[in-house]
Amino acid sequence: MNLPKNIVYTIALVLIFSPVILIFTANNKGENFGDLLAAKGFTTFLVFIVALIIFMIYSNYRYKKSQVKWKSGVFDQKQPFSEDSLLQAYIRLGGLMLRKDREDLKGKMAYLRRYFDQHFSDSMTDLMFAMKASYQHPVDLPSIGSWLKKNLRSVSQRSQLLYFLAGLSTVDGSMNPKEKQYLKQLADLLDLSKKDFDSIMAMYSKYEDAYHDQFKQRRAPSKSRSQYKREKAGEILGVSMHASVDEIKKAYRSLAKVHHPDRFATQSQSQQDIANERFIKIQLAYELLLEFKN
């Protein structure tokens, strides 16, 4: 369960000073105020109470300051890179995506919660507050894009953001033009190539959709189901479905250099898990094309 940091710190202080309080209570056998002041441990107890009050005032100040920051929509460029700051970036980008298409908001919020619980389980960020704030106060895309570009140095790390957002956009079964345009803007801000962008988009556009659209138009599909699958696999690898075995292997090796989970060996476990999930799709596309060749 994710708790606000001020609550966590307060609990920690109580646990640390509990023995002092118990000692003070046990030794306080006086019956009047003078005896209370002279009791063993009273000074320490008094310092604890004052410190707790100061901390709560400071926490409230930080909380209100964070609210102002959320409302401004500007992502703090001086914010140091950490697991919590990266999570905040993911949340804010997710909130902006939700505003592009409000279809099935409940399902999309559930997707966000599962994703963050799975991949950022060690974070102390208050997820419910952050997700609500990110939706109500959309982030300025150029400002967050600038911070991400500065702190996510590799194409692999930047691509993960696109994977995450593309997955969110398709919770309701499809990606609308506004969502795709948003992803394209972010890809441009992060200096991702058109080839990388097209590959990511291909992973989240279903070949079944194009196949069944033919039936909706009351005519037989112009291509077989297997052809649609081959085309989609080719788009993921960035090659034609008629590419040679050597071309397919070369494209796969090129993608592996960028997206292989081993590139995240020094990153957090959450980032390694995300990379592994996405790389599986690349492997499946590669195996599918080779299977058709054989």
Check residue 212 and give its pLDDT. 47
Task: Please tell me the distance from the alpha carbon of residue 259 to that of residue 196, in angstroms, as a whole number.
Answer: 10
Do 170 and 90 reside in the same domain of the chain?
A: yes
Query: Are the C-beta atoms of residues 229 and 192 closer than 8 Å to each other?
Result: no
Task: Please tell me the distance from the alpha carbon of residue 108 to that of residue 242, in angstroms, as a whole number.
Answer: 37
Q: How many domains does one find in the chain?
A: 3
Burial bucket for residue 115 (CB in 10 Å: 0-12, 13-18, 19+): middle
Burial bucket for residue 13 (CB in 10 Å: 0-12, 13-18, 19+): middle
Do 286 and 213 reside in the same domain of the chain?
A: yes
Do 104 and 201 reside in the same domain of the chain?
A: yes
First-residue to last-residue Cα distance in the chain: 50
Dig out the tokens for 99 from the structure.
């505003």
Token pair 């409230």 is at which residue?
Answer: 60
Check residue 262 and give its pLDDT. 79
Point out the domain boundary residue: 53, 71, 89. Answer: 71
Point out the domain boundary residue: 180, 205, 230. Answer: 205
Point out the domain boundary residue: 183, 205, 227. Answer: 205
Check residue 233 and give its pLDDT. 83
pLDDT in tens, 51-88: 777 776 766 556 555 555 556 677 888 888 888 888 88
Do 140 and 192 reside in the same domain of the chain?
A: yes
Please count the CA atoms within 13 angstroms of the CA of 243 that sit on its side-chain side: 23
Do 181 and 247 reside in the same domain of the chain?
A: no
Task: Please tell me the distance from the alpha carbon of residue 119 to that of residue 114, in angstroms, as a whole number.
Answer: 8
Do 84 and 200 reside in the same domain of the chain?
A: yes
Query: Are the C-beta atoms of residues 235 and 204 closer than 8 Å to each other?
Result: no
- Residues in the chain with pLDDT values less than 70: 1-45, 56, 58-72, 124, 205-225, 266-271
pTM over the 0.85 mark = no
Q: For residue 294, give the CATH number of its domain.
A: 1.10.287.110
Do 216 and 292 reside in the same domain of the chain?
A: yes
Task: Please tell me the distance from the alpha carbon of residue 236 to that of residue 152, in angstroms, as a whole number.
Answer: 23
Do 93 and 174 reside in the same domain of the chain?
A: yes
Do 95 and 199 reside in the same domain of the chain?
A: yes
Do 116 and 170 reside in the same domain of the chain?
A: yes
> How many Cβ atoms sit within 10 Å of the Cβ of residue 122?
12
Give residue 42's domain range.
Answer: 5-71
Query: Are the C-beta atoms of residues 252 and 219 closer than 8 Å to each other?
Result: no
Do 42 and 95 reside in the same domain of the chain?
A: no
Burial bucket for residue 134 (CB in 10 Å: 0-12, 13-18, 19+): buried
Do 131 and 194 reside in the same domain of the chain?
A: yes
